[in-house]
Amino acid sequence: MAGTGDSFKKAPKRKPNKGKSIAVSPEMRQAYADLIRQKAEKEEVYGRHLPQDEPRRR
């Protein structure tokens, strides 16, 4: 097993890719913020009507 020295070397680190950025109009930004707010409100209302977990009895 003299030839195994090269087969288990660490791979060189890669440079991280930069994320894409796009320009959005203020109207689109506001519409997206409204969408997020509506989704959060729906989740809150949905969670409010779920039964609460009772502590388990032994």
| Residue-by-residue pLDDT tens, the chain, 58 positions | 555 556 778 888 888 888 888 899 999 999 999 999 999 999 988 888 777 776 666 6
Q: In this predicted structure, what is the pLDDT of residue 14?
A: 86
Q: In this predicted structure, what is the pLDDT of residue 40?
A: 95
Query: Looking at the chain, which runs of residues are DSSP E strands?
Result: none
Q: Could you tell me the CA-to-CA distances from 29 to 22, 23, 37, 48, 54 in Å, in that order? A: 11, 10, 12, 29, 42
Residue 58 to residue 48: CA distance in whole angstroms: 28
Task: Report the predicted TM-score, pTM, of the whole model to 2 decimal places.
Answer: 0.47
User: CB atoms < 10 A from the CB of 51, how many?
Assistant: 5
